[in-house]
Amino acid sequence: MLIVVAGLPGSGKSTLALDLGRALSCAVLGVDQAEAAMWRAGVSPSGPTHHAAYLVVGALAAEQLALGHDVIVDAVNGPEPARAQWRDLAAQMGAGLRFIVVDCSDDRIFRDRLKRRVRHIEGYPEPTWEGVLRRRAEFPPWTDARLSVDSVNSRETNLQAALEYLSGAQSRAGH
Ligand SMILES: Nc1ncnc2c1ncn2[C@@H]1O[C@H](COP(=O)(O)OP(=O)(O)OP(=O)(O)O)[C@@H](O)[C@H]1O
Ligand SMILES: [Mg+2]
């Protein structure tokens, strides 16, 4: 199964993706980590490293799926072509696809978390609140079936909801 954890910068994707990775003992592949590694290697950030990072993660995810392993992708997935990449990959590999979209419904908490958060991705700039607002305004509505998760809820609550969704216990109709 290909599990894609998506949502705005700072919404709580990596937190849930890693909690799920621990619970399911499967690989978690982060697009930001792949892009930062390219920059550390000297690839210019002015090049298409963002797109390249999605392709790198897609290639690694394909190998996991070919092995019959579940894999979790951690990426914003704003533009529609990013989302289409995962639909196409799952179809190609004959794997199930589950989108889990994380948001934080309380802007005060969202902004405060973003300010305090320290990521350990060497060379990757921290997103700003202004950047989040800009991305939010551009974020196309989701059309795929998905689980929507609000990171105002506790990590435990969200992990449980995600595990239930993945096990099929919850309706997969988009909501
Ligand atoms: N359910 C939660 N309860 C409490 N804190 C949370 C929760 N989810 C996320 N956080 C906190 O919010 C901050 C942002 O979370 P995280 O780094 O997972 O976001 P992200 O969507 O991966 O961001 P980015 O796109 O910038 O990588 C972190 O400090 C994290 O600890
Ligand atoms: Mg992250």
pTM of the predicted model as reported, rounded to 2 decimal places: 0.95
How many structural domains does the chain have? 1
Task: Report the pLDDT value the prediction gives residue 175, as an integer from 0 to 100.
Answer: 42
Residue 132 lies in a domain: yes
Would 171 be classed as within a structural domain? no
Q: Ligand 1 pocket: which of 54, 117, 133, 153 to mutate (most atoms <8 Å of CB)?
A: 117
User: Does residue 73 lie within any of the structural domains?
Assistant: yes
> Does any ligand 1 atom lie closer than 6 A to the CB of residue 7?
yes
> Residues of the chain with pLDDT > 90: what percent?
90
φ and ψ at residue 7, rounded to 5 degrees: 145, 170
Q: Which residue has the tokens 């060379």?
A: 123
Residue 175 placed within a domain: no
The ligand whose atoms approach the alpha carbon of 152 most closely is: 1
Question: Is the beta carbon of 58 within 6 A of some atom in ligand 1?
Answer: no
Q: Looking at ligand 1, which atom is closest to the CA of residue 118? A: 29
| 3-state SS class at 6 | strand
Instruction: Answer yes or no: is 20 within a domain.
Output: yes
pLDDT tens, 33-62? 999 999 999 999 999 999 999 999 999 999
**Centre of ligand 2 from the C-alpha of residue 6, in Å:** 9
Cross-strand bridge partners of residue 102: 7, 149
Q: What is the pLDDT of residues 141-156, one digit of tens each?
A: 999 999 999 999 999 9
Residue 174 belongs to a domain: no
Q: Which atom of ligand 1 lies closest to the CA of 154?
A: 1
Diameter of the chain by CA atoms? 46
Residue 155: inside a domain = yes
Residue 173 lies in a domain: no
At 153-166, the pLDDT tens digits run 999 999 999 999 99
Q: In CATH, what number is assigned to the domain containing residue 156?
A: 3.40.50.300
Tally of helices (H runs) and strands (E runs) in the chain: 7, 5
**pLDDT band at residue 27, thresholds of 50, 70 and 90?**
very high
The whole domain housing 147 covers 2-166
pLDDT in tens, 69-99: 999 999 999 999 999 999 999 999 999 999 9
